[in-house]
Amino acid sequence: MEISRELVRTGSPKYVALANALAEQIRTTLAIGDPLPTERELQAGFGVSRDTVRRAIARLAAAGLVFNVQGSGTYVADPAQIRKGPRLTGFSQDMAERGLRASSRTLDCRIEPCPADTARALGVAEGSGVLLLRRLRLADQAPMALETARLLPGLFGDGLPDPEGSLDTQLAEHGQRIMRASQTITATNLTATEAHLLDQPVGAAALRVDRVGFTDRGRAIEATETLYRGDRYGYETAVERDPS
């Protein structure tokens, strides 16, 4: 395999740029199971240190593009087998990856007293004012999910967010970025109200995702409950064995 000898200089660290270059080469010129050039070959070919090569490869391995076999080499993984790990995405991006067009209908957007369990999750006093945003989420014009978000007040300065826009984007514009979240996924039967909104029969199975979002400093700023239609939505994820 021939490997180009130049790295595009971007603002990214060198090992990220190298990882991108390798990913491109893998997509275009390598097949599943093919070995990558050895680390020492890449080191020489790109004129970087072996450590940089290894960090680039580690990045690819984390993304599931390649896997290492000690004493043998690094090989291209089968992308059909290796799903990406769970990622923190908004509804719109999630739908886009499924080839669906996302839209939204706002049901509620106001300040309300925080219920007990959400208050615990957000670390605020029960009954204190939080921003409530309730939206029906559509994919290709048909109901897909019912989303109830509660956010710390004051994240958007004085006002309320634009309920039509991406919450994530608007939070970022105010210097608040959700970097981690913890979620619990359960199955539930839809109530009459929920079923009506989602255009489903009463009692239909739905996937319920309860998510608490944290900033990079570990501060909880958002708690969201989302009910997905069981017949339209699946949550896909890759899992790894514990180091043991």
Partner DNA sequence: CAGTGGTCTAGACCACCGA
Partner DNA sequence: CGGTGGTCTAGACCACTGC
Q: Which is nearer to DNA, 99 or 175 (CB)?
A: 175
Instruction: Locate 32 and state its tokens.
Output: 């599943």
Q: Which one of DNA, a copy of itself, none interacts with residue 216, CB within 5 to 8 A by kind?
A: a copy of itself
How many residues make contact with a copy of itself (CB under 8 A)? Answer: 54
- Contact string (CB under 7 A) for DNA, positions 37-56, x = contact: -xxxx-----xxxxxx-xx-
| φ/ψ of residue 42, rounded to 5 | -65, -40
Residue 153, SS3? coil
Which amino acid appears at position 198 of this protein?
A: L
Q: Which is nearer to DNA, 119 or 178 (CB)?
A: 178
> Residues 122, 130: contact at Cβ < 8 Å?
yes
Q: Which 71-110 residues touch DNA, going by CB under 7 A?
A: 71-74
Q: Which of 179, 191, 196, 199 binds a copy of itself (CB under 8 A)?
A: 179
Minimum gap (Å) between residue 65 Cβ and DNA: 14
Q: Which of 56, 207, 221, 223 binds a copy of itself (CB under 8 A)?
A: 207
Which span (3-11, 97-105, 156-164, 180-188) binds a copy of itself, by CB under 8 A?
180-188
Q: Is 5 exposed, middle or buried (0-12, 13-18, 19+ CB in 10 A)?
A: exposed
CA separation for the pair 41, 21 (Å, rounded): 15
| 85 forms part of the interface with a copy of itself (CB under 8 A) | yes
Q: Which of 182, 173, 95 is nearest to 139 (CA)?
A: 95
Instruction: Locate 149 and state its tokens.
Output: 């978000």
Q: Which is nearer to a copy of itself, 112 or 126 (CB)?
A: 126
Buried b (16+ CB within 10 A) or exposed e, 182-218: eeeeeeeebeeebbebbebeeebebbbbbbbbebeee
Q: Which of 6, 11, 87, 141 binds a copy of itself (CB under 8 A)?
A: 87
Place of tokens 């605020």: 124
Q: Which is nearer to a copy of itself, 109 or 155 (CB)?
A: 155
| Beta-ladder partners of 150 | 132, 223
Q: Which 26-55 residues touch a copy of itself, going by CB under 8 A?
A: 33
Minimum gap (Å) between residue 48 Cβ and a copy of itself: 16
Residues that bind DNA (CB under 7 A): 13-16, 36, 38-41, 47-52, 54-55, 68-74
